[in-house]
């Protein structure tokens, strides 16, 4: 298949772009923000008409969760309005659109894991902008898959794992919040899931809709940080001696975060017969790769 990839230099876009299966079996037209600004309606339309791909994978997004609180216009332009442009062109040309959304569309008050049909109530600007993007896609393009993912980290870009590695080199003590629960999900695992979805679309399977995908089981940032440091110690001596749990109220940020954003993946497992791996199995692979560079 000919696949057009947006946001190709982002954390997830880079993983899709280097994925072996995509390289060997498909033709990927990888477009960075400079090559395709998805917030420019005319460029989106012209690019899709020029390339006429068999599918689009949209990994482009405004992802600065805290900054979005003070520059909401930018967040809505890329995460919501641009979805209208992409979805409209896809519907016009009958192109399936695979889009990534977030656990931050939920308010975090549910005591158990979130299913796709749960009530949506974003508690920050980023979550609201991503939710609006989902809604535009659902209402415009018949052939779409929205994959809601959570706590993304990986080899490329800036993420929690890399921040903890840096802090653990610099400081003796780290204070990490332990009252936000979620599932840390590796970008390479999402890329693999997207590859599996493309294969299914290629073989004629029609299972359009919204799905949750994450590497369970749920944890909190404090326990995740401890796991990161434990693995990293196999590769280098670190300054850090103590990691202490703190509460969200003691670490104020411009954007509120849901206290529980664990995603239930049962719909995806039942529909596609693909079981996401556990984060405990994936994390050491990503850390190994980070140290191998
Ligand atoms: N990171 C997480 O923890 C997380 C959690 C849940 C869901 N998600 C979702 O997962 C997806 C991938 O996120 P990620 O972690 O890969 O984010 P990322 O590393 O920030 O990558 C996003 C990419 O989109 C590009 N971009 C921004 N505005 C654009 C525009 N107008 N046109 C085209 N490209 C544009 C960015 O380019 P610049 O670098 O030049 O700005 C960047 O390369 C997103 O949909 C995100 O909302 C992420």
Centre of ligand 1 from the C-alpha of residue 283, in Å? 21
pLDDT in tens, 223-233: 999 999 999 99
Residue from 62, 85, 126, 153 carrying the catalytic annotation: 126
Q: Is 93 exposed, middle or buried (0-12, 13-18, 19+ CB in 10 A)?
A: middle
Q: What is the pTM of this model?
A: 0.98
- Residues 6+ away with beta carbon under 8 Å from 116: 148, 209, 210, 211, 212, 267
Q: What is the CB neighbour count within 10 angstroms for residue 173? A: 11
Centre of ligand 1 from the C-alpha of residue 3, in Å? 18
pLDDT in tens, 97-149: 999 999 999 999 999 999 999 999 999 999 999 999 999 999 999 999 999 99
Q: What is the CB neighbour count within 10 angstroms for residue 79? A: 29
Please say if the pLDDT value at position 40 is more than 80: yes
Please choose from 7, 62, 150 the residue to mutate so as to test ligand 1's pocket, defined by most ligand atoms within 8 A of CB. Answer: 7
Centre of ligand 1 from the C-alpha of residue 127, in Å? 13
Distance (Å, rounded) from C-alpha 68 to C-alpha 173? 29
Ligand 1 atom at shortest distance from the alpha carbon of 12: 16
211 is catalytic: no
Of 97, 148, 124, the C-alpha closest to 264 is 148
Of 116, 100, 1, 14, the C-alpha closest to 57 is 100
| Whether the CB of 150 sits within 6 Å of ligand 1 | yes
Tell me what the pLDDT averaged over the chain comes to: 97
pLDDT given for residue 73 in this prediction: 98
């Amino acid at each position: 298949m000919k696949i057009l990839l947006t946001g190709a230099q982002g954390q997830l876009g880079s993983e899709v772009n280097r994925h072996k299966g995509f390289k060997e079996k498909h033709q990927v037209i990888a477009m960075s923000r400079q090559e395709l600004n998805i917030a420019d309606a005319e460029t989106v339309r012209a690019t899709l008409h020029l390339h006429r791909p068999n599918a689009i994978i949209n990994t482009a997004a405004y992802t600065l969760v805290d900054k979005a609180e003070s520059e909401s216009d930018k967040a809505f332009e890329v995460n919501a309005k641009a979805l209208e442009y992409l979805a409209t062109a896809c519907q016009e040309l009958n192109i399936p659109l695979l889009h990534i959304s977030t656990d931050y569309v939920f308010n975090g008050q549910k005591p158990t894991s979130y299913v796709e049909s749960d009530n949506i109530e974003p508690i920050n600007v980023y979550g609201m902008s991503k939710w609006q993007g989902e809604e535009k896609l659902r209402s415009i393009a018949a052939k779409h898959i929205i994959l809601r993912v959570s706590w993304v980290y990986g080899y490329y870009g800036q993420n929690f794992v890399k921040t903890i590695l840096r802090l653990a080199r610099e400081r003796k003590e780290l204070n990490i919040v332990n009252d936000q629960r979620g599932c840390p999900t590796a970008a390479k695992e999402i890329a693999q899931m997207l590859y599996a979805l493309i294969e299914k679309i290629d073989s004629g399977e029609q299972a359009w809709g919204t799905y949750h995908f994450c590497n369970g089981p749920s944890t909190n940032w404090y326990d995740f940080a401890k796991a990161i440091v434990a693995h990293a110690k196999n590769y280098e001596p670190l300054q850090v001696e103590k990691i202490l749990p703190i509460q969200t109220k003691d670490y104020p940020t411009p954007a509120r975060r849901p206290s529980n954003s664990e995603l239930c993946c049962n719909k995806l497992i039942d529909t596609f017969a693909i079981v996401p791996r556990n984060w405990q199995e994936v994390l050491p692979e990503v850390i190994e790769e980070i140290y191998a560079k």
